[in-house]
Amino acid sequence: MDQTILDLHHYLAYLVLLLVAGVLSRSFWAWRKGLNFTAQDNKTGFLVILATHTQFMLGLISYFVSPMTQQAFDDFGLVMTEPTLRLFALEHPLVMLIAVVLITVARIKTKRTDANAAHKTNFILYAIALLLILSRIPWDKWLGLS
């Protein structure tokens, strides 16, 4: 089960990145053109929320069943001195939580509006979230370097 959840978490991350980047580019373009927030923008925002929350739940499940996390709970001092353990036990989950919260706030703030300002809000919050996500992805594992 652990490997299946990790695989789902790994592959869903690609979809999340594509959706967040897509909303980010659409929001920037629509904001600069002065376009209103449409029903399609609202539906896309819902898909992003669905994907990011599912991704986060898969991450939480894998976090609590991982042997690496159990080691972190046993010896937190060791985790803080080892960069790879620190990334997986602390930095990755915490930064991803912040990114999911930013995306959720963007959804809440833009859900019931049709003004152009919604695109600006989306752009700013999604840009910060995407930068956070990209900063804590374990790139060596993604690129097959480890």
70-107: pLDDT as tens digits: 776 777 788 888 888 888 888 999 999 999 999 999 99
- Per residue in 16-65, pLDDT (tens digit) is 999 999 999 999 999 999 999 999 999 999 999 999 999 999 999 988 88
pTM over 0.85: yes
pLDDT of residue 142: 62
DSSP result, 27-75: HHHHHHHTPPPPHHHHHHHHHHHHHHHHHHHHHHHHHHH-HHHHHHHH-
Between helices 39-65 and 2-33, what is the axis angle to 10°? Answer: 150
What are the residue ranges spanned by the domains of the chain? 2-142
Tokens of 77: 């001092």
DSSP one-letter code for 105 = H
